[in-house]
Each structure stands twice: as structure tokens, then as C-alpha cells.
Amino acid sequence: TQLLEQSPQFLSIQEGENLTVYCNSSSVFSSLQWYRQEPGEGPVLLVTVVTGGEVKKLKRLTFQFGDARKDSSLHITAAQPGDTGLYLCAGPSSNDYKLSFGAGTTVTVRA
């Protein structure tokens, strides 16, 4: 099983501030996916990064895949209360279907 470590575990910030969440592994992944999960709901896919060094932007969210494809980061600019949630990174096994998930980062944005 390929392990993904996320940091920090918890993050609480004021509305308007920026934040970065990290996802690291000692293994190489063919791709990494970021999900956001709200209490009582299933994870919602935000983005998939595939190429080493790739940067993807989704409105105020910027996702980066490390050059060696072992790590990724999620940066949120000018966070809003609606960004509150559990952010999960996940990567497929060598078989490309079994997703391994990080433990997640719980983000709280205070109004």
C-alpha cells in the first residue's frame, strides 16, 4: 500500500487569508486526486493532476504536482467560509484503480 501523508491535520484561519495543504509520499504516483468532503457527505472530486510539475487552477484553488510525482499541494487564496471542509488527497495503486487516501486536512474558515 502506498502511503500518503497530509499536513497539517487541522487548519483554522480567518476569512480572506491564504492557506496551503500538503500531501507527501515516498512513492511515485501516476496521478494524484484532491477531494473535499463535508460532514455527512461523500468526497467530491476537485482535480486530478497527472504530469510532474503540473499546476492546475480552479478559481481560488491552485493545485501543484511535484516534479518527481511524489507530492502535491493545494493552495487556497482569499479563503471563504464555504471552503470549510476536509481536504483529502488520493493516489491510485500500481494497478491504477485502488485509491490510497491521506488522512485529510480539516480546514475551518472563520467569518
Give the separation between CA 66 and CA 71, rounded to whole angstroms.
5
Residue 103 as a binder of another protein (CB under 8 A): the answer is yes
Q: How far is the CB of 105 from another protein (least distance, A)?
A: 11
Q: Whats the size of the chain, residue-wise?
A: 111
Residue 30 as a binder of another protein (CB under 8 A): the answer is yes
- Interface stretch with another protein, choices 7-15, 32-40, 56-64, 65-73 (CB under 8 A): 32-40
Query: What 8-state DSSP symbol labels residue 96?
Result: S
Residue 46 as a binder of another protein (CB under 8 A): the answer is no
Residue 96 as a binder of another protein (CB under 8 A): the answer is yes
Cell (9 digits) for 57: 487552477
